[in-house]
């Protein structure tokens, strides 16, 4: 889709290796921006899932990579759920609960924008399924849900228990795990998780060299990279726009409209193919920094107060921050950074 852009900024500069590294960094930045609660939760779930998967004998690096990405992105669909539900302390009404459950399917939708992460996208869909079949969205029993989903689901709950969420007392984490084994969790996964934790091998969010290896494994697999390179720039644009759509549909619709206008104006100006593509990408992504702005501000009907206005003013800089890891996107990042200058 953006062939001239990819050719100029990646192929010609020989930057077609390590695409996963920069993509991962960009995804992490965007996700951290929307997750204004405990930003390390996703990182811990990702690395803990990876460690537990290895511990139970999964050694295929490609499979481990899917587990890692699923852990990192398991709650990305929360971007499409109102903040007051995610932070609500008391019991949710039936209607609120139904709304909350949609974060699994929204997450799957977002993650599946990246070709080669289809497995991770399915694990994201299933991370609230339970062993006894009372989970959501599909009510699969855990014998139906794949082992990989059971791992991510357990590590997610484990992290919440350890941080005192889910009405639990962190010191009792071991009892809690035993209590929910065979109800919520695969009972076979609980003992290895406890052993790893007691050995001090869980919860560290600094990736070890063997953790980094899962990304390298993706990058060294030629068939994976061929698929990623096919439409790498389009993948990034689609991923970020899908994220923005879930966060704030109006902003995403507006962005696509701006991209189309940019293209028309550019054509009138007889810009080159490369310049046109740069403009279209920048048009699509100029407001991506809004993923980090609360909906209460984005949707406020009247005038913004001073503080709210200052929050909104950060979105061009936030957009540039999200795009920074992408080595070929320097021009685009500069364009979005200055789109509100006068």
Taking the alpha carbons of 165, 167, 171, 177 in that order, is the dihedral positive or negative? negative
Question: 281, 233 in Cβ contact below 8 A?
Answer: yes
Q: How far is the CB of 124 from Fe ion (least distance, A)?
A: 9
Question: For residues 9 and 130, which CB has a smaller minimum distance to Fe ion in the complex?
Answer: 130
Residue closest to 277 by CA, chosen among 25, 18, 23, 9: 9
Q: Which residue in 156, 236, 276, 277 binds Fe ion (CB under 5 A)?
A: 156
Q: How far is the CB of 156 from Fe ion (least distance, A)?
A: 4
Residues 68-87 within binding reach of Fe ion (CB under 5 A) = 75
Residues 310-329 within binding reach of Fe ion (CB under 5 A) = none
Q: How far is the CB of 236 from Fe ion (least distance, A)?
A: 19
Question: For residues 121 and 225, which CB has a smaller minimum distance to Fe ion in the complex?
Answer: 121
Residues 276-305 within binding reach of Fe ion (CB under 5 A) = 287
- 8 touches Fe ion by CB under 5 A: no
Q: How far is the CB of 148 from Fe ion (least distance, A)?
A: 16
Question: For residues 228 and 288, which CB has a smaller minimum distance to Fe ion in the complex?
Answer: 288
Q: How far is the CB of 128 from Fe ion (least distance, A)?
A: 6
Length of the chain as a residue count: 342
Q: How far is the CB of 159 from Fe ion (least distance, A)?
A: 7
The DSSP 8-state label assigned to residue 189 in this structure reads T
Residue closest to 192 by CA, chosen among 47, 59, 52: 52
Question: 153, 126 in Cβ contact below 8 A?
Answer: yes
Q: What is the DSSP annotation of 226-256? A: HHHHHTHHHHHHHHHHHHHHHH-HHHHHHHH
Residue closest to 127 by CA, chosen among 166, 157, 97: 157
Question: For residues 61 and 102, which CB has a smaller minimum distance to Fe ion in the complex?
Answer: 102
Question: For residues 218 and 283, which CB has a smaller minimum distance to Fe ion in the complex?
Answer: 283
Question: For residues 9 and 286, which CB has a smaller minimum distance to Fe ion in the complex?
Answer: 286
Q: How far is the CB of 252 from Fe ion (least distance, A)?
A: 13
Q: How many residues bind Fe ion (CB under 5 A)?
A: 3
CA separation for the pair 15, 9 (Å, rounded): 8
Please name the residue ranges forming H helices in 146-231.
147-162, 173-180, 190-198, 209-220, 222-230
Q: What is the DSSP annotation of 116-161? A: T-HHHHHHHHTTT--TTS--SSS---TTTS-HHHHHHHHHHHHHHH
**Residues at the site binding Fe ion, with contacts judged by CB under 5 A:** 75, 156, 287
């Amino acid at each position: 889709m953006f062939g001239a852009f990819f050719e100029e900024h990646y192929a010609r500069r020989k930057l077609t290796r390590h695409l996963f590294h920069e993509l991962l960094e960009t995804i992490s930045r965007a996700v951290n921006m929307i997750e204004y609660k405990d930003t390390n939760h996703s990182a811990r779930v990702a690395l803990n899932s990876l460690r537990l998967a290895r511990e139970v004998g999964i050694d295929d690096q490609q499979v481990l990579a899917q587990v890692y990405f699923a852990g990192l992105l398991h709650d990305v669909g929360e971007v499409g759920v109102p903040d007051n539900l995610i932070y609500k302390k008391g019991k949710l009404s039936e209607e609120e609960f139904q709304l909350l459950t949609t974060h699994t399917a929204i997450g799957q939708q977002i993650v599946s924008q990246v070709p080669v992460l289809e497995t991770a996208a399915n694990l994201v869909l299933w991370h609230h399924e339970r062993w006894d079949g009372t989970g959501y969205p599909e009510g699969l029993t855990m014998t139906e849900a794949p082992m990989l989903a059971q791992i991510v689901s357990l590590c997610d709950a484990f992290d919440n228990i350890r941080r005192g969420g889910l009405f639990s007392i962190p010191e009792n984490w071991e009892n809690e795990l035993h209590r929910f084994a065979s109800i919520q969790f695969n009972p076979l996964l609980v003992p290895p998780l406890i052993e790893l934790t007691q050995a001090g091998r869980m919860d560290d969010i600094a990736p070890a060299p063997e953790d980094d290896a899962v990304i390298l494994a993706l990058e060294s697999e030629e068939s994976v990279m061929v698929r990623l390179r096919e439409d790498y720039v389009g993948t990034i644009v689609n991923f970020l726009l899908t994220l923005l759509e879930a966060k704030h549909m109006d902003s995403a619709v507006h962005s696509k409209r701006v991209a189309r206008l940019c293209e028309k104006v550019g054509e009138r100006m007889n810009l080159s193919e490369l310049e046109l593509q740069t403009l279209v990408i920048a048009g699509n992504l100029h407001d991506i920094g809004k993923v980090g702005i609360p909906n209460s501000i984005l949707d406020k009907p009247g005038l913004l107060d001073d503080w709210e206005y200052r929050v909104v003013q950060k979105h061009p800089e936030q957009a540039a921050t999200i795009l920074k890891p992408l080595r070929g996107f320097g021009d685009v990042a500069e364009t979005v950074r200055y789109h509100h200058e006068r």
